């Protein structure tokens, strides 16, 4: 009998749906029982042999069974999907107590650290930072600074020339000129930056860093220069450091002096760092040459100033006891990591 077959199919399909272990399995069973090749579709075809009266009754019965199975399928599918989700939540749960991935952190380069510290110390007494181009006009790098055409610094062996009137700046002093040209005194500026010279050995690098200082005001004297540098050096190296000024010559300052500080390593007793002299030179300084003021259209009878230029590698070498200047540019992580905060 067809209706017995129908009962059997229904029972078998319900049992199979109940036994399905996941939604994929369940879907395959749906295709198997309710699909076009399935037993219900087969029964529909068998209905051809029924009488006119029986056909609609049996058709209705098949449709009821089919609808019942579809509803059962939907329920099972929802239940399995929920179970699968629960399972996923349970197994993929995040353990918030696990340590995160370790990311390598960058750190400031020791030269940048020195620059930042110098700027910080001098900003406390009113200095602020200015910058200038690394490719500089002859006028700013030499001429306006009163460096005459026959000065050795102008030699091709010391200076990288770009063309006849442009050089890679050999010092940060041109920023003095640029500032005096574009700003009105009084001025207190610092100009840190990269500088270039045709030179390379343990204590010379073709690319190194300087910080330039410039003060322009009324009635400025060597005493102001000395006081400022003494303040700076003690803040930077510590209160026990002594300074001394040695008479020197720079075309852009008059008078000029080289600045030495007592060796912070041996405290002046003499060691390798200070070549057993007890003193280490940190840079040049002086009162701004009236010719330089005049080049910048400042009246030397009204305005005076002092300037200084310190070597940043020099300062880092003294502060951290580094003996080879080339280490700063080699990017060796074993070296650089020693300066991480």
- Specify the residue, 17 or 308, whose C-beta has the smaller distance to ligand DAH: 308
Q: Does 211 bind ligand DAH (CB under 6 A)?
A: no
Q: Does 193 bind ligand DAH (CB under 6 A)?
A: no
Q: Which of 10, 66, 130, 171 binds ligand DAH (CB under 6 A)?
A: 171
CB of 253 to ligand DAH, least distance (A): 4
Q: Which of 307, 317, 318, 327 binds ligand DAH (CB under 6 A)?
A: 307
CA 158 to each of CA 135, 140, 206: distance values in angstroms, whole numbers, following the listed order: 15, 17, 9
Q: Which of 228, 285, 289, 304 binds ligand DAH (CB under 6 A)?
A: 285
CB of 333 to ligand DAH, least distance (A): 31
CB of 96 to ligand DAH, least distance (A): 57
Q: Does 192 bind ligand DAH (CB under 6 A)?
A: no
Task: Tell me the C-alpha distance between 260 and 226, whole Å.
Answer: 12
CB of 306 to ligand DAH, least distance (A): 7
Backbone φ and ψ for 340, nearest 5 degrees, come out as -65, 150
Smallest Cα–Cα separation from 229: which of 217, 246, 206, 250?
246
CB of 335 to ligand DAH, least distance (A): 26
Q: Ramachandran region of residue 276, left (φ > 0), alpha (ψ -120 to 50) or beta?
A: left
Reported for 161-167, long-range contacts at CB under 8 A and 24+ positions apart, including other chains, are 162/135, 164/138, 165/137, 165/138, 165/139, 166/135, 166/136, 166/137, 166/138, 167/135, 167/136, 167/138, 167/141, 167/142
Q: Ramachandran region of residue 297, left (φ > 0), alpha (ψ -120 to 50) or beta?
A: left
CB of 171 to ligand DAH, least distance (A): 3
Q: Does 132 bind ligand DAH (CB under 6 A)?
A: no
Q: Does 253 bind ligand DAH (CB under 6 A)?
A: yes
- Site residues (vs ligand DAH, CB under 6 A): 171, 173, 212, 250, 253, 283-286, 307-309
């Amino acid at each position: 009998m067809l209706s017995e077959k129908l009962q059997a199919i229904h029972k078998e399909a319900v049992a199979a749906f109940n036994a399905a272990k996941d939604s994929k399995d369940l879907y395959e069973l749906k295709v198997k029982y309710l699909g076009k090749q399935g037993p219900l579709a087969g029964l529909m075809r068998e209905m051809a042999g029924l009488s006119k009266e029986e056909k609609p009754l049996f058709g209705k019965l098949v449709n009821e069974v089919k609808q019942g199975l579809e509803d059962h399928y939907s329920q099972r599918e929802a239940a399995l999907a929920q179970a699968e989700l629960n399972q996923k939540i349970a197994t993929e749960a995040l353990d918030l107590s696990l340590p995160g991935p370790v990311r390598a952190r960058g750190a400031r380069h020791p030269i940048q650290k020195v620059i930042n510290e110098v700027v910080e110390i001098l900003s406390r007494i009113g200095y602020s930072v200015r910058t200038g181009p690394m490719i500089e006009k002859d006028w700013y790098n030499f001429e306006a600074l009163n460096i005459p055409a026959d000065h050795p610094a102008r030699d091709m062996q010391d200076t990288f020339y770009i063309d006849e009137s442009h050089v890679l700046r050999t010092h940060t002093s041109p920023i003095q000129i640029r500032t005096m040209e574009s700003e009105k005194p009084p001025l207190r500026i610092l100009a840190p930056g990269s500088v270039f010279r045709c030179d390379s050995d343990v204590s010379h690098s073709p690319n190194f860093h300087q910080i330039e200082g410039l003060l322009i005001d009324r009635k400025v004297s060597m005493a102001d220069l000395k006081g400022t540098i003494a303040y700076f050096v003690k803040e930077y190296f510590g209160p026990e450091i002594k300074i001394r000024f040695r008479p020197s010559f720079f075309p852009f300052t008059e008078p000029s002096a080289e600045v030495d500080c007592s060796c912070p390593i041996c405290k002046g007793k003499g060691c390798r760092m200070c070549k057993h002299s007890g003193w280490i030179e940190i840079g040049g300084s002086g009162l701004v040459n009236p010719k330089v003021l005049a080049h910048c259209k400042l009246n030397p009878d009204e305005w005076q100033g002092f300037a200084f230029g310190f070597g940043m590698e020099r300062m880092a070498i003294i502060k951290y006891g580094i003996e080879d200047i080339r280490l700063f540019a080699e990017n060796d992580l074993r070296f650089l990591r020693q300066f991480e905060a």
